[in-house]
Structure 1
Amino acid sequence: MTDFLVPPLPHGFTHLVDIASSSNTKYDVVGVICDHLPPKELETKDWMIKVVLQSPDGHQFPLRLFYRNREDVDTITGIGNIVFVWSASKRTTRDREQELVANRINTLVVIQNNDLPDVEFAGTHITNPKFKYTKIPDRSTRKLTDLEQLYALHLSSWKRKETFASQAQTTNNSPVELSSLRVDRFYNVVGEVVKTWWESGASSVYSLYITDYTENPFFFDQGLIDSGSQSHNNLISGKRTVQVSLFSPHADWATHNISVGDFVWIRNLLVRHRNNSESIIEGKLHTDTDRPNQIDIFKLQEGDLRLLKLLKARKEYHELPPSPSEDLDKQSKNAKKKRDKKKRKEAERERLEQEELERQNQAPKPQQQTTAPIANPLVVPGFPLEILTDVVSIIEAPELQGTNPRTGKPITFPFVNKSYRAQVRVLDFKPDLEDFCQSLDDPEYNDIPMDTSATWNFTQCENRWEWAFYLLVEDAHPNLGQPREKLMLIVNNKNAQFLLNLDACDLRKNPETLKELREKLFALWGEIEESKRNGTHDLAITPRNRPFICCIQEYGVKNNEGGWNRMHAMTSTTIRK
């Protein structure tokens, strides 16, 4: 490949390395996309994408983009794409991370990965550089100058020598091994928790050490740890554990739900250098800026393939012969006795577990209702492989009982961050059907103060209405002898759009939409809405409407007293057309 003179940064553009220390608020920048998160649809129907730009000097800076059309987002997204953006705003997130922000008001030019010629042909383009690029929005009159196109050729030459492997997470939530973690990228990971603690001087930061038993040269070296010792919180020898710092709300949830020995899945973990160290990396799980109540750390459940893989890795690790460095201590008779004792305990535990499993298989099953009501085929839930859970098991979830990791005392948690599938029947709903949509301009409904200084806000959204209603449901198929437990389900804007396939509007001024809504919801509640209009609805009488299967998400919302309200939402369920 022929070398050519490296051109200067185009006039008016800022080097990525200078943005963090600059006092400016607007920036023209150019870089190559080296990583990105999956596109996310907001409740306003805008699309948000977060990318990481990189320059040839190795410096990176995050850029968050908001666009109306998914097609624009798909055009931008692509590892190796070159992006020019003008007048992007710099902001500091609530987690004190800096990023650039742009939306459809800003002009952006994308040169997709395959649209640039090889640099050895660049000579024909230097005096009259012409190659394909996309302007967003497409109505923009801006064109790349010759110097800007020449700089794009320079970036093309550099990026062909680099290997950009995106760690942005896919829709199947596939985790990567901890050995693959590198700085300034986002990952989905799984691991076993081997230590937990609250950070001193940072009351809202809760930290974990996790391991998947793979080694990473950028992890802190734990040194030699005796497997028989209990003074190290089950830490693993060598560079096999990574520190993960959890910020709110993840920290609050983890302290109530995560203990040493649990296996966890963490979504969108950002990897950074440890403070005052360029050779050690650690993970940070910040607050989601768009969904501040969203929890991105979960416990792996029994039967999860990711859990089975971790258990296999743990077993193989403990069966590894000691390394030469470990021979100095671990080959002593005392250490060998401890390992043998641990193996005998594990073998005995496995034997007892097998006996218990055989005993349960031979035990008579509890008496169940012999005939289950047939679920309404017009209502289609997600996660078809998930087993059904009765409502009483959701309300009395055993995960609500646990142990305080600081005191060791038993505690009752305010909620469980978990999804279920249940067969239910609607008993009631609120508010009135005509008020199932609420106006974002109504201060009694939308009490969130608007940030008028923000580059992008909800007032730019054309539709100022959103869905918001509740369904009171009961268990349609309880076990014999159990009452029909009831549960109030929230149906928010996003889940209602998926359920109904209708856009929110002022239903009192749109009789056709109200009529279509009434017809769709007849599949859920039968004659209940009509009986409420006629004044004959009676909760004491079991309705004749057909039961259906739906997905239910349990989560927690902080209240004004500083505690948590336990909430349940219908999600991932749609009414067939």
Structure 2
Amino acid sequence: MAPSLTKRQNSLPSGFISVREILNHKRGVGNLVNVIGVVKDFRAPVPTRKSDWKCEISLYDGSAEDASSNSITINIFRPENEMPDPSLGDVIVLYQAKLQLRDETLSLITHWNTDIYLYSANQIPHPPEGALKALQPQQRKTTNSPGKPVHEYVSSLYHSIDKRGLPTEAEFQDMKAKSASLSEKFKELKDVRDGTFVDAIVQLVRQPYDTGDKITLWVTDFTENDSFFHFVFKGHGDSGGQAHDPYGYGATLPYGAGTGGEWKGPFGKRSMQVTCFDPHTSIIRERGLSTGSWVMLRNLQIKYGRNAANLEGFLREDRGSSGLKINVTHMDATDKETIDPRLKEAIRRKRDYEREKNELIRGISDAAIAGMKRKSDMAAMGLLQIEKPKKTKKSKPKPKKKSTVMSTDMSTETSAAVSTAYSEVKCENENKAISTIGDILEPIYVETDVNGEHVKLQLPFVNMNYRANVRVVNFMPPDIEDFAHPKKSSEYAMLSDYEESDADSDMEEETVDRSTVREWEWRFFLELEDASPPGDIQSDKKTLWVAVNNFSAQCLLNLDASDLRSDQKNLEALRQRLFLLWGDLEEKKSLEEENRRQAALTNRGGNRPPLHSSDDESSAPQKRDTTSSQVRSRPFACCIHQYGVQVPEEDPLKADAGEGKRWQRMFGLFGTRIAYT
């Protein structure tokens, strides 16, 4: 055979990349590549949580046969009946596979447009004849089709490559059979049992405790196991720790779990202790695994711990045919396209657990209003401020105050002003009674018995919706260019039903490189006061700051967020819509804002709104903006909801939402729209 012919046949067809070029990072992560390689290893298909199955195939070619790392793995996700079933030495032609980096290892993963062609090794003819007759039938419709140059290259590659690096047929079949049984080894923590070895995907819920020769982890996948310790809320008074409520309020920590401060969850029988030995400890240290990290733990030994009452996990030295095996793998919980379906389900369980827990805590206030049994528990848990009734002389009972939500004491003139006001602003719940700002800000108290003593309890917040007639007198941030922020990433974002709530929004400004941000979201605040007719006295008016999150702002503005400092078109559209909401407020506010902008941002904590006029939480009263207080912007009807968020608190006496945190009452705008045409 002529040398020129051999060289031509061994050259990759146009549009393909060699395995060595991939391993040398000649293509960036996330790119789609075309590859041709010989099958070196095959992990049999296993079911995922959804309809797809998953298999893994390792490929190598002539470019990598002399290197220590000479193969690339392709992860294939498809229905079971569309899975390839390669034999040792078969050749695969791969179109449009996505390059990914997982745990510092490059691999390929199928894309929605990926095509896989399999050539049977025992039917591939010698060059110069092409390998068309060795091509197996396709199991699915394809987009790309190999031509004559590809068929010829397959023949050349198979008959020229050094096959001494391949395993024997017996070894290949043994590895395939073992991989098929691995799916049965994966367990959720609810299913682990004493005396077994399992694979599990878990999250670290406590900082690793490093003693030098070993590291102790506390992990969860947000399932419950009756053989786990029952973690309950600290301070309830139940010393046994076997409370029947779903989040276990009432017990102390088990021996060995007391390092690192108060247990912050998850509560109930959802967490397991895992002791790791070398060589796994070095990986935990090197990769900085910490609270919140998701990991895959393989070959995890399950047995009862020293207390003989609770199951624990142990990761010991594990030797395989290729030497020591590392059984701790850090998992990426942010990549929507390549995330392991089992990790996704664990994140979904975490989201559901957090929602249920928060609803339980927030629902305490509603339960108290309704006179439910949990009122005394609220005070005992420190969630409510206790105010003893003052002893006073008997007097005639005062008339009972009307409900804050149903208040209708606005003047006839005010209602007339609003009814003839700007018709461009619409809101939901038009049949709901009007509330004033004063009504909305009024704290809610309940009276109950705590430890045999009659007390008056002030709720930190209530979950209520209101409708009000208002006008905008101020806004934050001071520049409307900052109404849009870089979108905060969340591990729940890959869930199909993910929605951000007000409590999820971060009120503090973050320093980011705006040039690298791909997604933006709305986040700003409006200061509202009651709409009133011209000439009404302004000095005694109360005001209310409402948060406008991304969803509420999209409803209000009918605009999607973007980088307003570079998107002038969207900025101008925003300015026009806001003019319909607040008139010339922006122009009047900007007259005095420029000279004190930096001071205002510093004093108010970046993007945190000032206190409401009824909230006295600072020793020095805040001055009202004289410019905005004189603004007579247009009145409109809107919907407002009250809720609570946890904020840092250094004073233990005020930390009513857990260690180092307190509840802060918040208000948000919703269901209001500028009917811009």
TM-score w.r.t. the length of structure 1 is 0.39
TM-score w.r.t. the length of structure 2 is 0.34
* Bigger CA radius of gyration: 2
